Amino acid sequence: MLEKINQTVSFLREKGIDKPFAGIVLGTGLGGLVSQIKNKIEINYSEIPNFPVSTVEGHAGKLIYGDFGTKKVVAMQGRFHFYEGYPMEAIAFPVRIMKFLGVQYLFLSNAAGGVNPDYEIGDIMFITDHINLLPNPLIGPNDNRIGPRFPDMSCPYDPGLINKAEAIANEHSFRTHRGVYLAISGPTFETPAEYRHIRIIGADAVGMSTAPEVIVARHIGLICFAVSIISDLGVEGKIEYITHKMVQEAAAESESKMTAIMTRLIEKI
């Protein structure tokens, strides 16, 4: 594992990726933040040794490095989902690469279905905690040089970053919440009974990503911040027919809010 990581990191350093401060993983319909990165180096996943190759609708994923405000960042345009058929190891690998490139912070975004009855489409939810119903990406032999066998998860999302993000959002009068994100495999969206179940067991929103990446990031010691854009509602009486396109469009509509928060937040750290 460490050998593969070192090989990939050497390749990326040779391409000019030098000590990024933060890593960014962008969710469905939320890729526009990348246009704010200046002096870019873009590398297709297919060129990167040991990297999984993105399959979603034939779009080649890209790693993008450059200046985001005053800081160097490395962003993943296109993430890996379990429902695409990747092993959990493939979902873990890019997060580990970010850490070995020098990243200290990991920022993640996703589109999610709101199950909290107070939520509306377009709202922003700062993730304070998660329930991971996907396979745990740390199952298998553990390399103690990467992280401990039994990592702590008492505080996976940094409270200081959430406070800062909330203050930024308040300045803009964005509708925000703090909530629990539940990660599930998909690719089906939930039935009404499943949405009810997800609410009853303690979640505010549901999606198909993020929690496994955060588990890997905490294992390796990265500080995490994650935000969901509420793209649809899994609330009794408000459940409607949905498609992936509708999720993409709803997320894209609120993208500028998320980008504004992330930009200021990364600047302020």
Residues in contact with ligand HPA, total (CB under 6 A)?
13
How far is residue 119's CA from residue 141's CA, in Å, rounded to a whole number? 40
The smaller minimum CB distance to ligand HPA, of residues 8 and 176, is found at: 176
For residue 175 the two structure tokens come to 């509708």
Q: Select the span of 43-51, 137-145, 165-173, 204-212 touching ligand HPA (CB under 6 A).
A: 204-212
Q: Which stretch binds ligand HPA (CB under 6 A): 9-17, 66-74, 160-168, 182-190?
A: 182-190
CB 202 within 8 A of CB 222: no
CA 214, CA 225: separation in Å to the nearest integer? 9
Q: Which is nearer to ligand HPA, 78 or 207 (CB)?
A: 207
Q: Does 65 bind ligand HPA (CB under 6 A)?
A: no
95 binds ligand HPA (CB under 6 A): no
Is residue 112 a contact residue for ligand HPA (CB under 6 A)? Answer: yes
- β-strand partners of 125: 177, 228
Q: Are 32 and 255 in contact (CB under 8 A)?
A: yes
> Which one of residues 31, 113, 137, 147 is an interface residue with ligand HPA (CB under 6 A)?
113
CA distance 260 to 127: 17
**CA nearest neighbour of 24 among 64, 52, 56, 55:** 64
Nearest approach, Cβ of 259 to ligand HPA (angstroms)? 18
Q: How far is it, in rounded angstroms, from Cα 169 to Cα 149?
A: 37
Binding of residue 206 to ligand HPA (CB under 6 A): yes
Which 184-203 residues touch ligand HPA, going by CB under 6 A?
A: 186, 189-190
Is residue 231 close enough to count as binding ligand HPA by CB under 6 A?
Answer: yes
Residue choice 207, 212, 225, 254 for contact with ligand HPA (CB under 6 A): 207
Q: Is 108 in the site for ligand HPA (CB under 6 A)?
A: no
Q: Which is nearer to ligand HPA, 6 or 185 (CB)?
A: 185
**Cβ-based neighbours of 143, under 8 Å, separated by 6 or more:** 1, 2
Secondary structure (3-state) at 236: coil
Torsions phi, psi of 140, nearest 5?
120, 180
Write out the residues near ligand HPA by the rule CB under 6 A: 111-113, 186, 189-190, 206-208, 231-232, 234, 247
